[in-house]
């Protein structure tokens, strides 16, 4: 029987979740192209990163404004270890490193990441151009950990062939799911995001009969109608809180890959007002529940990265708190030809090699 799992949805927010703080493009429209950049901040690179964070909205406007249908949006997330190096400001209450998971058969690794850039548009060239500006500004101050260019596939399908994103919350429910409300007053309008890069074994997947694939996902492949399957991916990810209400996240997974190299993947991205919700889903997927020892989608999809970031509000980027350590300095570790550990060194001056300068509205004359 189709579609009869009971859903009791949390009603949409009644107050303005985020209490007036403008979020970044977290709630942005799902688009046909995206670039995901995961970076770590090199010792001494903090000032350059901060300059870029302040300029990101302006850079996005520069690239996107002339292409109204392009829907270019940008989100930057900050990793747990980077927070105290970048800002003299209270930590977001639930910011912590991604918690790796080892289940009976599958492992979700935690991988490095101080910064996540999630760039979305209807055209890949807009994401590409914005990513180029970002990297041009940050080169020498950061190390690239991962870069993925994602695309929408057919009628919003993942590379396993199923429509992905159907049960995403919308409107007020999306806001309630994805944004921090008044529970963390220093960070209202912010969000937490978890990303994982999955590689699919499509040869193995495609040997399964379609009915078996449908049982694993929990939806019909052609019609996208939901199935009543307790052990499916959909069922394992339908979770409820102590109040019996369904707890949701806002996803914008993207297929990516390289047919030439035989690489086929899904870049999972989930925004939530508390990382607990996504973590509970991951726990069920990897370690199971009463219905299943683990999510069988993992027999065909290997997680190769895993990182958690805090996404500050747009207002936060507009008016960054000061650098820690009283301003102009960062502690750098010793490296050949560099000062000893613990020596305070001046942070490098900001280098906008594109010559665009500071595009932040609040600081542009
Ligand atoms: C290999 C990676 C993944 C693939 C290919 C995938 C694919 C899908 C598909 C096809 C659906 C059904 C349609 C829908 O979007 O509602 C779905 C649902 C869902 N997935 Fe995934 N997913 C992946 C990983 C994850 C992860 C890591 C999480 C959470 C940590 C997750 C959370 C969800 C949720 C919450 C739903 C909706 C459940 C509901 O019906 O309420 N997915 N996914």
One pLDDT digit (tens) per residue for the chain, 365 residues: 334 454 555 443 333 444 579 999 999 888 999 999 999 999 999 999 999 999 999 999 999 999 989 999 999 999 999 999 999 999 999 999 999 999 999 999 999 999 999 999 999 999 999 999 999 999 999 999 999 999 999 999 999 999 999 999 999 999 999 999 999 999 999 999 999 999 999 999 999 999 999 999 999 999 999 999 999 999 999 999 999 999 999 999 999 999 999 999 999 999 999 999 999 999 999 999 999 999 999 999 999 999 999 999 999 999 999 999 866 545 444 344 433 333 333 333 333 333 333 343 333 32
Q: Which residue has the tokens 């708190």?
A: 321
Closest CA to 250 of 172, 150, 152: 172
| Per-residue pLDDT at 126 | 98
Q: How far is the CA of 218 from the centre of ligand 1 (A)?
A: 10
Q: How far is the CA of 13 from the centre of ligand 1 (A)?
A: 23
Instruction: Determine if ligand 1 sits within 6 Å of the CB of residue 162.
Output: yes
Q: Which residue has the tokens 């499916």?
A: 232
Instruction: Determine if ligand 1 sits within 6 Å of the CB of residue 219.
Output: yes
| Per-residue pLDDT at 27 | 96
| Ligand 1 atom having least distance to the Cα of 5 | 40
| Per-residue pLDDT at 46 | 97
Q: How far is the CA of 83 from the centre of ligand 1 (A)?
A: 29
Contact in structure between 227 and 220 (CB atoms under 8 Å): yes
Identify which of 7, 197, 204, 251 to mutate to test ligand 1's pocket (most ligand atoms within 8 A of the CB): 251
Instruction: Determine if ligand 1 sits within 6 Å of the CB of residue 158.
Output: yes
Q: How far is the CA of 166 from the centre of ligand 1 (A)?
A: 9
**Cα–Cα distance between 109 and 198 in angstroms, integer?**
11
| Per-residue pLDDT at 327 | 62
Nearest protein CA to atom 12 of ligand 1, as residue: 164
Nearest protein CA to atom 35 of ligand 1, as residue: 237
Instruction: Determine if ligand 1 sits within 6 Å of the CB of residue 57.
Output: no
Instruction: Determine if ligand 1 sits within 6 Å of the CB of residue 165.
Output: yes
Half-sphere exposure at residue 350, Cβ-oriented, CA atoms within 13 angstroms = 18
Q: What is the pTM of this model?
A: 0.89
| Per-residue pLDDT at 118 | 98
**Cα–Cα distance between 107 and 306 in angstroms, integer?**
11
Strand partners, 239: 247
Instruction: Determine if ligand 1 sits within 6 Å of the CB of residue 281.
Output: yes
Nearest protein CA to atom 10 of ligand 1, as residue: 164
Catalytic, 164? Answer: yes
**Cα–Cα distance between 161 and 222 in angstroms, integer?**
9
* Torsion over CA: 319, 323, 329, 335 (sign): negative
Q: How far is the CA of 252 from the centre of ligand 1 (A)?
A: 10
Strand partners, 101: 108
| Per-residue pLDDT at 29 | 84
**Cα–Cα distance between 193 and 180 in angstroms, integer?**
12
| Per-residue pLDDT at 28 | 87
**Cα–Cα distance between 228 and 253 in angstroms, integer?**
23
**Cα–Cα distance between 107 and 103 in angstroms, integer?**
6
Distance, C-alpha 208 to centroid of its chain: 31
Strand partners, 148: 36
**Cα–Cα distance between 98 and 108 in angstroms, integer?**
10
Q: How far is the CA of 192 from the centre of ligand 1 (A)?
A: 17
| Per-residue pLDDT at 325 | 80
| Per-residue pLDDT at 94 | 98
DSSP code string of 29-68: PP-SEEEEEEEEEPTT-HHHHHHHHHHHHHHHHHHHTT-G
Cα-trace Rg, the chain: 21
DSSP 206: H
| Ligand 1 atom having least distance to the Cα of 303 | 1
Contact in structure between 96 and 128 (CB atoms under 8 Å): no
Identify which of 2, 153, 169, 253 to mutate to test ligand 1's pocket (most ligand atoms within 8 A of the CB): 253
* Catalytic residue, candidates 51, 114, 164, 283: 164
């Amino acid at each position: 029987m189709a579609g009869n799992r009971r859903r009791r949805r949390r009603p949409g927010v009644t107050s303005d979740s985020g209490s007036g703080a403008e979020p970044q493009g977290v709630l942005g429209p799902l688009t046909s192209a995206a670039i995901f950049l995961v970076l770590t901040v090199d010792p001494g690179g903090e000032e350059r990163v901060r300059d870029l964070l302040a300029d990101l909205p302006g850079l996005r406007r520069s690239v996107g404004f002339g292409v109204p249908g392009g829907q270019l949006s940008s989100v930057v997330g900050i990793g747990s270890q980077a927070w105290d190096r970048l800002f003299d400001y209270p930590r977001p209450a639930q910011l912590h490193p991604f918690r790796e998971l080892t289940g009976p058969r599958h492992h979700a690794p935690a991988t490095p990441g101080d910064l996540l850039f999630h760039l979305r548009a209807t055209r890949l060239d807009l994401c590409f151009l914005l990513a180029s500006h970002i990297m041009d500004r940050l080169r020498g101050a950061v190390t690239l950990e991962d870069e993925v260019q994602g695309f929408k596939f057919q009628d919003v399908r993942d590379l396993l062939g199923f429509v992905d994103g159907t049960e995403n919350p919308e409107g007020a429910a999306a806001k309630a799911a994805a944004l921090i409300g008044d529970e963390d007053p220093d960070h209202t309008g912010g969000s937490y995001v978890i990303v994982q890069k999955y590689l699919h074994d499509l040869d193995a997947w495609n040997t399964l009969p379609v009915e078996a694939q449908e049982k694993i996902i929990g939806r019909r492949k052609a019609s996208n109608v939901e199935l009543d399957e307790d052990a499916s991916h959909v069922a394992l990810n339908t979770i409820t809180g102590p109040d019996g209400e369904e707890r949701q996240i806002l996803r914008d997974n993207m297929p990516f890959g390289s047919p030439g190299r035989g690489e086929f993947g899904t870049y999972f991205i989930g925004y939530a007002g508390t990382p607990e919700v996504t973590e509970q889903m991951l726990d069920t997927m990897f370690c199971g529940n009463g219905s299943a020892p683990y999510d069988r989608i993992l027999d065909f999809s290997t997680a190769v990265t895993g990182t958690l970031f805090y996404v500050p509000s747009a207002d936060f980027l507009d008016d960054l708190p000061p650098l820690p350590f009283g301003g102009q300095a960062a502690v750098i570790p010793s490296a050949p030809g560099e000062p000893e550990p613990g020596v305070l060194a001046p942070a490098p001056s900001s280098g906008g090699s594109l010559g665009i300068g500071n595009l932040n509205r609040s600081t542009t004359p």
